[in-house]
Amino acid sequence: MLARRLRPAVAARWPSQQLLARCYSAQPKGTPDIDASALTIEKTTAPKPLLDAKDLIFGRTFTDHMLSVEWTAQDGWLPPRITPYQNLSLDPATCVLHYAFTCFEGMKAYKDADDRIRLFRPDRNMHRLNRSSARIALPTFNHDTFIDLISKFVNLEERFIPKQKGYSLYLRPTMIGTQKTLGVGPPGSALLYLIASPVGPYYPTGFKAVTLEATEYAVRAWPGGVGDRKLGANYAPCIVPQIDAAKRGFQQNLWLFGEEGYVTEVGTMNMFVAWVNEEGVKELITAPLDGTILEGVTRESVLALARERLVPEGWQVSEKKFTMAQMKKAADEGRLLEAFGAGTAAVVSPIKGVSWRNQDIKIPLSPGKETGPLAEKFWNWISEIQYGETSHPWSYVVPK
């Protein structure tokens, strides 16, 4: 226990986030990691009726079961359990309820044409969950073991994964601190759990381009902060600015940072812009991972596909800071080609306009469409990998 208390103090002298993550591990050496072979399964006696595919609403209904793994500082990870989906029972003093010891992931399970279940780059989600967890003094775990458990879980819940293309089972791995004391310190116990919600296509009637309000009065993330981690604490403060933007008729916030007006993210998606840059070169640009940007799996995939498939066509692909003023200038000079958000829920979200300091910046779309050509390309490329229509190492076929 003493060593666990001392380590954060040591880490605090090193402001770099990477060092923080490396120095502090809630997992004391020698306690057991998760043991997938110890899994017990208690099946529900009251299976839920399946909703009609057209009635599915994101995150509203859940499958029959949940997966839970408890952790204590003393004993490490306890045997994993699949049980009927049920309420948690938490003491009102539990640390997650007071100090936001909570982080999560968002990923999906897909059915391919041969009825196999597939995950998309699950190792990236596990990596990110461990990084989020370590940042708030919660325990870490072996990636492959948890992917094994997810595989067992999605096999059990197979009937909830709709077969139609565009449908999927949204998976929500969540970690919370469960210590029942009000003292502010590293939780001595935690719960890692997984719930799942069947979801329909994000664009049931074709793409829908959105308009954004560039938000300067509120800041989502800042250097040295935790905007690069999927911590629960990052999301609640973004709702009021979102409501305000919606009142003014904008679907999402475009989060800016600093006096320079750096473009960071859009809503809870990474932001991509395509323009002809000042040097006259076609460029696909997104903000760099400087600690203020969430490391999106979709972002990483868009960048990799762009480097593989667009660079040979003369595109430049950049992870580089860019500003609202540069976007406005590009629009004024007819160099702004396209903009879109990227994230698991929608894959891509085409953007048709941004309001910034009372100026409306219009962003081009393909003729007669609610998307630009690049967003559509990435949507096709990534969806066909997710649904196994093309063979690709990013698609993980869940063993039966």
Ligand X SMILES: *Cc1c(COP(=O)(O)O)cnc(C)c1O
Three-class SS of the chain: CHHHHHHHHHHHCCCCHHHHHHHCCCCCCCCCCCCHHHCEECCCCCCCCCCCHHHCCCCCCCCCEEEEEEEECCCEECCCEEEECCCCCCCCCCHHHHHCCEEECCEEEEECCCCCEEEECHHHHHHHHHHHHHHCCCCCCCHHHHHHHHHHHHHHCHHHCCCCCCCEEEEEEEEEECCCCCCCCCCCEEEEEEEEEEECCCCECECCCEEEEEECCCCCCCCCCCCCCCEHHHCHHHHHHHHHHHHCCCCEEEEEECCCCEEEEECCEEEEEEEECCCCCEEEEECCCCCCCCCCHHHHHHHHHHHHHCHHHCCEEEECCCEHHHHHHHHHCCCEEEEEEEECCCEEEEEEEEEECCEEEECCCCCCCCCCHHHHHHHHHHHHHHCCCCCCCCEEECCC
Q: Which listed range, 77-85, 205-213, 293-301, 306-314, lies at the site for ligand X (CB under 6 A)?
A: 293-301
Looking only at the bridges linking them, the beta strands covering 117-120 and 168-177 are unpaired
Q: Which is nearer to ligand X, 230 or 328 (CB)?
A: 230
Q: Which is nearer to ligand X, 299 or 335 (CB)?
A: 299
Q: Which is nearer to ligand X, 336 or 382 (CB)?
A: 382
Instruction: Determine, following the binding rule CB under 6 A, whether residue 138 of this chain makes contact with ligand X.
Output: no
Using the rule CB under 6 A, which residue among 229, 230, 328, 352 binds ligand X?
230
Instruction: Determine, following the binding rule CB under 6 A, whether residue 296 of this chain makes contact with ligand X.
Output: yes
Q: Which of residues 265-284 bind ligand X (CB under 6 A)?
A: 265, 268-270
Least gap, CB of 145 to ligand X (angstroms): 21
Instruction: Determine, following the binding rule CB under 6 A, whether residue 351 of this chain makes contact with ligand X.
Output: no
Instruction: Determine, following the binding rule CB under 6 A, whether residue 344 of this chain makes contact with ligand X.
Output: yes
Count of residues interacting with ligand X (CB under 6 A): 13
Instruction: Determine, following the binding rule CB under 6 A, whether residue 297 of this chain makes contact with ligand X.
Output: yes
Least gap, CB of 348 to ligand X (angstroms): 10
Least gap, CB of 232 to ligand X (angstroms): 11
Q: Which is nearer to ligand X, 27 or 168 (CB)?
A: 168
Instruction: Determine, following the binding rule CB under 6 A, whether residue 122 of this chain makes contact with ligand X.
Output: no
Instruction: Determine, following the binding rule CB under 6 A, whether residue 34 of this chain makes contact with ligand X.
Output: no
Q: Which is nearer to ligand X, 246 or 281 (CB)?
A: 246
Least gap, CB of 227 to ligand X (angstroms): 7
Q: Which listed range, 3-11, 73-81, 261-269, 368-376, lies at the site for ligand X (CB under 6 A)?
A: 261-269
Instruction: Determine, following the binding rule CB under 6 A, whether residue 102 of this chain makes contact with ligand X.
Output: no
Q: Which is nearer to ligand X, 67 or 103 (CB)?
A: 103
Q: Let me know how long the chain is.
A: 400
Instruction: Determine, following the binding rule CB under 6 A, whether residue 349 of this chain makes contact with ligand X.
Output: no
CA atoms of 129 and 135, how far apart (whole Å): 10
Least gap, CB of 123 to ligand X (angstroms): 12
Which structure tokens are listed for 144?
């492959």
Q: Which is nearer to ligand X, 298 or 371 (CB)?
A: 298
Using the rule CB under 6 A, which residue among 106, 173, 188, 200 binds ligand X?
106
Instruction: Determine, following the binding rule CB under 6 A, whether residue 294 of this chain makes contact with ligand X.
Output: yes
Point out which residues bind ligand X (CB under 6 A): 106, 230, 265, 268-270, 294, 296-299, 343-344
